[in-house]
Amino acid sequence: MAFPLPQTSFFSIRLVIRIGYMSNQKDITKSEWLGISRVRNLSENISRCMPFFKELGLIEKGERMYSYKLTDNFLQLGKAIQEEDEVNERRIWRSIIENNLFFNNVIKKIHFTQGITGFMDVRELKEEIIKIADKEKQSRTNKQYFDAYALAIINLLRHIKIIKNINKYKLILYAESALGDESNDIPPEIKLSLKKFREDYPDTRKTAFIIMQFGKTPAHKNIVEAISKFAINMAFLRLEQTTKNITTVCLAMS
């Protein structure tokens, strides 16, 4: 099912929430929202935020015609933004998105990619966000716009300290991130050995796995030898067999 990406910046999302909170109303129309502030383009930004807000349970259908009901989460978030309470704002955002399938799939994708390469490329993450939101077809003719929408999601995750930049083009997850914890996805039969491997070789940027059907055929031997020779500055080679007849060759590179 498609996810409604915010069609504005994360800065504008926070601004719309703050102004809505400042109205001191739980049931508010767009014109009343606009009457609180004369911020340029506010009307357009409110409209662009609404589907995103509805999806996250921040607003509901109001009691009056063309009005919106601001939920408790919306009002608590607005209060934290207005008071510049970053800790509380971060906590509320996390509680809002923690059970959302879209956000969990985005974070799982970052986990997966980071586990292979040690980081997530910003451009690649934008593409994955658009794909997970099921907006690939629309983005083909409006790529610039959808890149901006995806960037709003990235900036949200940055703001609440789920991800952080290691440079201009690369992102990683915070180690203490409560969302996207992959520990429950690890098969129990390899959990202990994987934990030990990570303790021995914590730098994921310099590790790789060759996974193939268990066997001792010439083809198996040739595959391992070819990849081993290709691995630049290889320090060691370890062969392990799991309980499901899968051979895992762990390459650690210096």
Give the H or E element holding residue 239.
Answer: strand 234-241
Q: What is the pTM of this model?
A: 0.70
Which tokens in the block code for residue 120? Answer: 């997530």
CB 34 within 8 A of CB 43: yes
Which tokens in the block code for residue 64? Answer: 């009056």
Q: Look at residues 150, 146, 147, 176 and name the one whose alpha carbon lies nearest to residue 164.
A: 176
Mean pLDDT, the chain, rounded, equals 81
Domain boundaries, the chain: 10-97, 101-182, 188-253
CA distance 111 to 245: 26
- The highest-level CATH class for domain 10-97 is mainly alpha
Give the pLDDT of residue 240. 43
The residue assigned the tokens 């129309």 is: 29
169: helix, coil or strand?
coil
Express as a percent the part of the chain with pLDDT over 90.
Answer: 48
User: 249 - beta bridge partners?
Assistant: 210, 239
28-32, 97-101, 108-112, 244-248: least confidently modelled range: 244-248
